[in-house]
Structure 1
Amino acid sequence: MPRFSYRAVDSAGDIISGEMEVADRRALVQHLRKQGYMPLQAEPREGGARKGARKTKTRGRRGGDGRMDGEALVLFTRELATLLGAGLPLDRALSTIAQQTQTDAGASVAQGLLDRVRGGASLADALSERGEIFPNYYVGLVRAGEAGGSLNGVLEDLADTLERQRALAHEVRAALNYPILVLIAAGISIVILLVGVIPEFEPLFEDAGAALPFTAKAVLAVSQGFREYWWTLPVGALVVFVIAQRMRRSDAMRARLDDLALRLPVFGQVVRKSEAARFCRTLGTLLANGVDVVPALDMGIETVGNARMSRDLAAVSPQLRRGQGLAGPLEATGVFPALAVQLMQVGETSGQLSKMLMTVAGIYDEEVRRDTRKMVSLLVPVVTLVLGAVVATIIGAILSAILSTYDLPL
């Protein structure tokens, strides 16, 4: 049977960890719950299994800036939700995470939040002071959960939302890895030809002069220039990087680039649907947890990374304040197709808008996966053909130069 490592909370609120051989993850979770533990994590593990469980060693307070990446934020949110669901008070849950969490960043952040909560601040207020980690929609959901007495449920929803967003982004990046590897491999092959192969043939062509074909002269010139001025490549890359960073800081230029991204074939659809899925899932989660539609909309817009789409969606907020529904103004933006708008209209009519928004988000997630596969299926052959043509041109130029040098018929 496969081996799984796990982390769970015991009845005293301590985090325990261990390994066990079970049929699958579900069986492990059921076994832990029968033992009176609240599961935190259950992951497949290679190697020998430990028998039983052991308490995670308590750690002291940590230094550092306490910055968390996306994975650490998901883990922190999930652990806090589980501890609260197990009946621990908020300060005890934060103390447990600060002392026993597996990530330094999570421990540092939890300790800072614990200090603020013990000082009389609400969790939402404490989170709002760490805006570089916790976005506004995260804080808004926690505030709604505290007001409604459902904080652990809100945190579970947040963890689910963050995990789905990370999973989708990971799938897109993973799908693009292959064409990137093809591009890198082909680039290395071209460099080897220019630096290592072509110089070996240069002595053969020294006396040929004007007799060489144009393509051969061009390839020889590129090879010589590459060897003599190779340093221009890293310098050029650095210049491009600096310019790109400045362009990212310019709102006007960023808006133009984002608008261009939406206009690109296939890729534009992936960007549009990915942003729309994130917006719908965030808005649906906020509405489901009691946040009013206008502030929920504003928080949802903050999660949209494309400046053009964010600007279009921002035009909806004033119309909502005037008492209009959500579906009509969203349809006018052109961000959502007719089917998505119809589902939202049904949700507004039936009082299940949050549920329909989550449905729309799920539809878009699946379409992003499908469009990404389509994009990769188109991109790989194009990249292969273009780079293959470059390599073939270099080799053909050398062969033609050899043939012309020795006056051999083609």
Structure 2
Amino acid sequence: MPFYKYKAVDSAGTAVEGTLQARDAREASEALKAKNLRVRMLSEANSAAANAQPPRPAPVARPTTRPEPIIQTAAARPPIPSARQVINVPVAPAPVVHNTRLFTDKDLYILFTQLNTLSTSGINAVQAFQDVSTRVPRSDYRASLQDIAARAAEGRSIASVMEEYPMLYPPHVVGLVRAGEVAGFLPDAFATIFEQADANRRFKRWFTWLGWIAIACILCIPPTKMLTNATLIAWDKQEQAGGAFGFSAWQILGDAIKEELASGLLPKQLLGIAAVILFILWYNRSMALRPLRHKLALYTPGVARRAKFESLGFFSYALGMVSKAGIPPQRAWEMATASMPNLSVRDRMETSAKTMTESTKLSDVLYRSRAIPKEFAPMVQTGEMTGDVAGQLLEISRSQMEEYRLQDKASKVRVGCWMFLVMAITSMAIIGIFYGDFMMRLMQKILKTD
């Protein structure tokens, strides 16, 4: 059977080349695909000598009484090299994207807690995903876990399958899982993911309560307007009755509601409030607006420092772990950048590494990109001199993650103060507008009566 040379890319993005034996090019291509390799070049590699015909030996002369004629043997023909056959293998199609419900931090926390426990106990990833799929309540997560287990058993990368479920596994989860697969720290990657999901869950719970308070304040606007109208209607009725109060409060309230409906303001107010609430819900859950949300988070008082240190903590942790596994600096930077939760910070880090090559020092890129505080840059330079870059990066990661936890606690206080301040100012403005309108209309009635 002939031999074939190939160049391909594995699931981690690493270039691979070699030679394999197959009956034909189709069989060779199928064998490479079975190994989860994306073929870039495939050509027949039979050596020229293999196809060459060896020269014929000259016949041996037998002794006779007559001199035998000298027979000149024909020179051996030069070997004919085999024709090089180049096959254009089509590029693999883009992965299928499955539309599902959006993930929640609680879902990620429960899921990756179980995966971390199973993988830490020595159970392989395929069995862990299959086992967890039997206990998740959401059907979309169950289907994705079963798909991951089945295709990982065939040699597919777990992270590459997760990419097909963007509504269930956010980009930083996929990036950290890929780094864990390549560098061999998958259980630790699972632990980091569920710890971050738990911190986000508790942080957003604070926003949930403040959000409901804000919605309640907005919903109070129509009743407040109707009560002020009811007060003015009661004034008119009492004035018409000569000061006697011979009517019920429910009757006054009904007249106020009728007046609001007749003016057309109440339906407009309710529709406006509903539109605001629906917009907020859509904005928080839209996949298309995720980059915008992450960018605005870096400029939001009380949240900006937390978002920044969260991403930098994840980056330094992943960079230290993949460097510890011997991954080249350029590839290590790409994998660490993919594990950053904030997409805006992630884009900035990717831009700073565009001129990076395999010979570029990590300390130079870290200093140029401001990925870590400047005072930490000498630590990386020392690690490059002593050959312990991974150890220094992990120490920086520990410091960054600790700063992130401190910012997480401080952000809750700062955000709470900002929210209460905004609601107080808004409530005072609403009360001032309604009360001012009420007093102006009441003064007009008093002056008209006099």
Give TM-score, length-normalised by structure 1: 0.61
Counterpart mapping for 1:54-69 below 5 A:
none
1:324 aligned partner? 360
Q: What are the superposed Cα offsets for residues 29-78 of structure 1, whole Å, 9 maximum, x if unpaired?
A: xxxxxxxxxxxxxxxxxxxxxxxxxxxxxxxxxxx979865544454444
Q: 1:113 aligns with which of 142, 148, 160?
A: 148
Q: How far, CA to CA, are the matches of 1:223 and 1:392 in structure 2?
A: 25
Q: State, as a whole percentage, how many aligned pairs show the same letter.
A: 13
Matches within 5 A, 1:280-291: 280-291=316-327
Taking structure 1 as reference, are residues 198 and 302 closer, same or farther at Cα in structure 2, changes over 3 Å only?
A: farther
Give the counterpart letter for 1:283 in structure 2.
L
- AA at the equivalent of 1:171: R
Contact 1:137 1:296 in 2 (8 A): no
Go from structure 1 to structure 2 and tell me whether the alpha carbon gap of 1:388 and 1:185 turns closer, same or farther (over 3 Å shift). farther
Closer/same/farther in 2, CA of residues 381 and 299 from structure 1, 3 Å limit: same
For residues 135 and 344 of structure 2, the distance between their equivalents in structure 1, rounded to whole angstroms, comes to: 43
Offset of 1:166 from its aligned partner? 1.2
Whether 2:212 is the aligned partner of 1:181: answer yes
| Cα shift at 1:161 | 0.8
Q: Give the 5 Å matches for 1:6-405.
A: 70-88=105-123, 92-99=127-134, 104=139, 107-118=142-153, 120-122=154-156, 124=158, 127=161, 130=164, 132=166, 133=169, 135-145=174-184, 154-202=185-233, 204=235, 224=263, 226-230=265-269, 232-233=271-272, 236-237=275-276, 249=288, 261-304=297-340, 306-321=342-357, 323-334=359-370, 336-339=372-375, 341=377, 344-345=380-381, 350-351=388-389, 352=391, 353-405=393-445
| Structure 2 match to 1:148 | none
C-alpha deviations, 1:166-215, integer Å up to 9, x for none?
Answer: 13322331333443233223222222112344244257579xxxxxxxxx
Matched residue SS, 2:222 = helix
Whole-Å separation in 1 of the counterparts to 2:262 and 2:380? 60
The one-letter amino acid of 1:324's match is T
Residue 323 (structure 1) shift: 2.8
Return the alpha-carbon distance in structure 2 between the equivalents of residues 371 and 269 of structure 1. 8
Report the AA paired with residue 417 of structure 2: S
Backbone CA RMSD of aligned residues: 4.4
How far off is 1:262 after superposition? 3.0
| 1:370–1:312 CA distance, 2 compared to 1 (3 A) | same
| Structure-2 residue corresponding to 1:25 | none
Does the 8 A contact of 2:298 with 2:307 survive in 1? yes
- Residues 301 and 313 in structure 1, CA contact (< 8 A), matched pair in contact too: yes
1:91 touches 1:114 (CA, 8 Å); kept in 2? Answer: yes
Deviations 1:122-148 (A, max 9, x none): 554774674533613312322332xxx
Larger-gyration structure (1/2): 2
8 Å contact 2:294–2:342 — kept in the other structure?
A: yes
SS at match of 1:314: helix
Aligned length: 321
Q: CA deviation digits over 1:251-309, x for unaligned, max 9?
A: 9xx56x75555344444333333333333344344444554432332233234454542
5+ unaligned residues in a row in structure 2: which ranges? 1-98, 238-258
1:289–1:367 CA distance, 2 compared to 1 (3 A): farther
Mapped to 2, the partners of 1:275 and 1:311 lie a distance apart of 12
Residues 368-396 of structure 1: per-residue CA shift (max 9 Å, x gap): 43234223223313421331232143124
Letter in 1 for 2:216: A
- Quick one: distance in 2 between partners of 1:262 and 1:335? 15
Q: Is the 8 A contact 1:78 1:155 kept in 2?
A: no
Q: Residues of 2 paired with 1:392 and 1:366: CA distance?
A: 39
Aligned-residue offset at 1:157:
0.7
| Residue aligned with 2:354, SS | helix
Aligned to 2:25: none
Q: Distance in 1 between matches of 2:216 and 2:270?
A: 21
Contact persistence 2:366–2:377 (CA under 8 A) = yes
8 A Cα contact 1:195 1:223, kept in partner: no
Deviation at 1:345, TM superposition (A): 5.0
Higher helix share: 1
- Which amino acid letter does the alignment assign opposite residue 328 of structure 1? D
